[in-house]
Amino acid sequence: MSQPLNLSLSSLKAAYASGELTPAAVIDNILARATEYEGYNIWITRLTRDQIQPYLDALASKDPATTPLWGVPFAIKDNIDLAGIPTTAACREFAYTPDDNAFLIQQLINAGAIPIGKTNLDQFATGLNGTRSPWGACKNSFDPEYLSGGSSAGSSVAVALGLSTFSLGTDTAGSGRVPACFNNLVGLKPSRGLLSATGLVPACRSLDCISIFALNADDANEVLDVAATFDEADGYSRRNPYSNSKRMYGCAPADLSIGVIRADQLEFFGDEEYRCCYENTVKALADNGATLTEIDFAPFFEAAKLLYEGPWVSERYIAAQPLIDENPDAVFPVVREIIAPGGKPKATDLFKAQYRLTELKRICDEVLARFDCILTPTAGTHFTIAEMLEEPILRNSQLGHYTNFMNLLDMTSVAVPTAFTASEKPFGITLVGPAMSDRWLLSIANQLEKTFVLPMGATPYSKPSAPDTITHNPAAIDVLVCGAHLSGLPLNWQLTERGATLKQTTTTAAAYRMYALAGGPPFRPGLIRDDADGQAIDVEIWSVPAQHFGSFVAGIPAPLGIGKVEIADGQQVCGFICEPGGIEGAEEITEYGGWKNWIKKTA
């Protein structure tokens, strides 16, 4: 096979800026190389050079400096509308030709992206393996005997083989993550509703997410910035909060707090290579500074079972009902076997399942709130195509073991490559966070890419190194306290009642003076910076939920306020400081080294 171009966004933009490449040359290279992979069953409709030309022509009126995806090739799962090109959902009898682009596709084209074609999928997006299509099983980018993963099969393989910079899949039960794992890609399953579903053939309309496959976390972040556009026409569309905006993306610190599945609950279905990769991944994170805490994953697994064993299969039935009822033979046999029973559940079954799901979500949300993220294997094993065809339903279910709970619980996730097995198959983990934590999870993925240095997809290229802005979990804000808010003291309730947790006991840098302020009760100290004659002062750092930080600060009386305080390791932390005028009439207590010491010695 011929050598692919480096299609990562940074490399492609640099090549365009230098004149080394043009969009037309990139498209010609991709189309020529695509013919080499005809037997991989990547495409349902690959656009011709003439069909792509109008998109190339449109670039002439766009400024590359202000058009974020100028000349960037991308692939589209064939259950998302591209104007003038049939949408099949991998079913010929269902196919139609839309007049308009899906809302999301239009945003990408407006930003300069160039569609290459519509990709193969598990029919009606029902599957995690990539074999359930009349267009043939989509083959893995590393070993054609193995699964590509589905349902977004062709979308993942197109990116991995260097036939697109990024691609769109969909993810109801794991279809944006399992194919990413099997093809060494970053797979972003966005928060539900963050990407418009207008122009998407639904699988489960209340749960569906259009997903993004990318060569690295930086690229996924750039595409998400264009894609996360509110759509008035989509009843499920949600506005992206500032805490999840592009400005929040960077590189997470290595000393993360991560929840991991209890050892006795892990399942690798006899695949010792995947087990070994997982254990090595977890160990490397711990060695790099992360704190890993085992959690009970039972409620997550119980929620996952509701997707296919509960009434939500009725949504899949709704999407395919005309064919199921009138022309069932047009539906791929195993897909029909899964979808057809969806017409039987009663409304009472749905309500009962919703009651239980609500209970499980509360439990799972409380677990999630304790950590920067939760980490799971993306998949417990990797089957050959032949093995999947032997047991198509059982083994597909096994592929979804760690993925099916996500959308039911309204969570966000990013699949990240971390290793190759001894037999040279890709392995990866999934980062899990609450809704609208997409940028934070991508920032963690960016950190992981520095720990696990791998090629991008099945190409020979590695992610280019570049300086990163260190970012922190936007769900919480660290606050340094030095007086009445310390543990066990009269105002500590102002933290604990807001759900704050003690993160660290430390000291300031040796550059502060402390004063017992006039007034009270409650009695309060004032912290003043003095680089010449200061010393280290005992402090605590509390993690305050961001939603309550404003109300906490608003209640602080003068002369105190919140500013930046340097701690012993040199970090700058939001913390209590005092206006210089506030120490008039105050008693200096610096020599005691902290407020609690002064209280003890004056009691």
As a dihedral over the C-alpha atoms of residue 180, residue 181, residue 183, residue 185, rounded to 10 degrees, the angle is: 50
Sort 19 into a burial class: Cβ within 10 Å, 0-12 / 13-18 / 19+. exposed
Sort 50 into a burial class: Cβ within 10 Å, 0-12 / 13-18 / 19+. exposed
List the structure tokens of 89: 């959902």
Other Cβ atoms less than 10 A from the Cβ of 503: the count is 17
Residues 6+ apart with CB under 8 A from 287: none
151: annotated active-site residue? yes
Positions of E strands within 145-209: 166-170, 186-189
Given 8, 151, 211, 413, which residue is catalytic?
151
Quote the distance between the C-alpha of residue 90 and its chain's center: 27
Given 148, 156, 175, 437, which residue is catalytic?
175
Q: Is 26 helix (H, G, I), strand (E, B) or coil?
A: helix
Q: Is 102 helix (H, G, I), strand (E, B) or coil?
A: coil
Other Cβ atoms less than 10 A from the Cβ of 581: the count is 8
Sort 602 into a burial class: Cβ within 10 Å, 0-12 / 13-18 / 19+. exposed
Residue type, position 333, single letter? P
Q: How far apart are the C-alpha atoms of 572 and 447, rounded to whole Å?
A: 21
Residues 6+ apart with CB under 8 A from 168: 74, 75, 76, 77, 80, 104, 105, 155, 210, 211, 212, 213
Given 8, 11, 13, 77, which residue is catalytic?
77
Catalytic residue ranges: 77, 151, 175
